[in-house]
Amino acid sequence: MVLILSDGVDKSVNTVVRYLYLKNAHPIVIQNSDISTIIQLSINEFTIFREQNISSDKISSYWFRRGQLNIENNIIDCYQQSPLINYIRDFGKNEIGSYISYIYYLLEKKKSIGSIFKSEINKLYVLRCAELCGLSTPNTLVATNSDSLLCFGDESLLIKSGSKFFSYTINNLIINSYSSLVKVNSLPESFFPNIFQNYIEKQYEIRSFFLINEFYSMAIFSKNDEKSIDNRKSFLCNRYVPYKLPKIIEQKLFDLMQKLQLNTCSIDIIKSTDGHFVFLEVNPDGIFENVSYFCNYQLEKKIANYLAKKND
């Protein structure tokens, strides 16, 4: 049995699942909307119930795509409000949370792809590790006032969020936290802490998907007449082609993956106009569909093959 944890069942999860069926690997997908119950949990094994018994000794491999495991919690079912009930409710949540996280731990001891414990990774920590691995990174500063930005010596800087991606739609207006270029002199004197980086003139961007010890890379050429900082904004006018990173860069990235203990993630790199590879960030739950499709890497099939393979 192959267990897949995913926030929902989209096309690529579906494709992996079909390949698994074709290999008689018996996939089971648990999505965010599924509520499971704990049948038993010991130090070495567990059994949960979700339409059927799913026990750890039957699971041969595990893919953490995204999302989470939801376990039935009947304390929360009580709708009364009082300081005591709220306190008990929090307590119940934590109790269940600790069991779920041990189940994750047991799952990740199996042959697995992805890790829920790595799904939120500190951007600044990643940059430090990247530097330690010998990768070039942009100058980075978390600033709260415009004076401290003068040390960059640049008129314009890149501003980005430090944690998760933010997106909110109100009255058809989408507010989000894509990286964007700001003029230093247009900023107020002091502001909410933000990550600032020097803007690196690029020839093209590289998105590399790391999977089972291989880098599957894609170069993204943006249309020259558009100053798109973050390529998610201008999807159709770009050119996406397969790319092979130089061995030495792959080695450094591999060291970084080891340091961060990631066995899969998507990596953003810039090839600057002066010919350098500049590491930007990693996304542990990075999307691989585009890389897979545009470069015909067939990553869905590779994932399924890996999960279905019996011995290793």
* Interacting residues with other proteins (CB under 8 A): 14-15, 18-19, 21-22, 219, 221, 239-246, 275, 293-298, 300-301, 304
Beta carbon of residue 199, minimum distance to other proteins (angstroms, whole number): 22
Closest CB to other proteins among 33 and 86?
33
Closest CB to other proteins among 178 and 294?
294
3-state secondary structure of 198: strand
Angle at 112 between CA 111 and CA 114, to 5 degrees: 160
Closest CB to other proteins among 64 and 204?
204
Pairwise CA distance, residues 63 & 108, whole Å: 9
Beta carbon of residue 112, minimum distance to other proteins (angstroms, whole number): 21
Beta carbon of residue 238, minimum distance to other proteins (angstroms, whole number): 9
The dihedrals phi and psi of 220, each to the nearest 5 degrees, come to -120, 110
Beta carbon of residue 29, minimum distance to other proteins (angstroms, whole number): 13
Pairwise CA distance, residues 251 & 102, whole Å: 33
Closest CB to other proteins among 14 and 86?
14
CB 36 within 8 Å of CB 71: yes
Strands 214-221 and 239-243: antiparallel
Nearest to 127 by CA among 19, 279, 3: 279
Closest CB to other proteins among 96 and 308?
308
Q: Tokens 């018996």 belong to which residue? A: 26
Beta carbon of residue 14, minimum distance to other proteins (angstroms, whole number): 8
CB 150 within 8 Å of CB 156: no
Beta carbon of residue 60, minimum distance to other proteins (angstroms, whole number): 19
Nearest to 191 by CA among 159, 230, 236: 159
Closest CB to other proteins among 49 and 240?
240
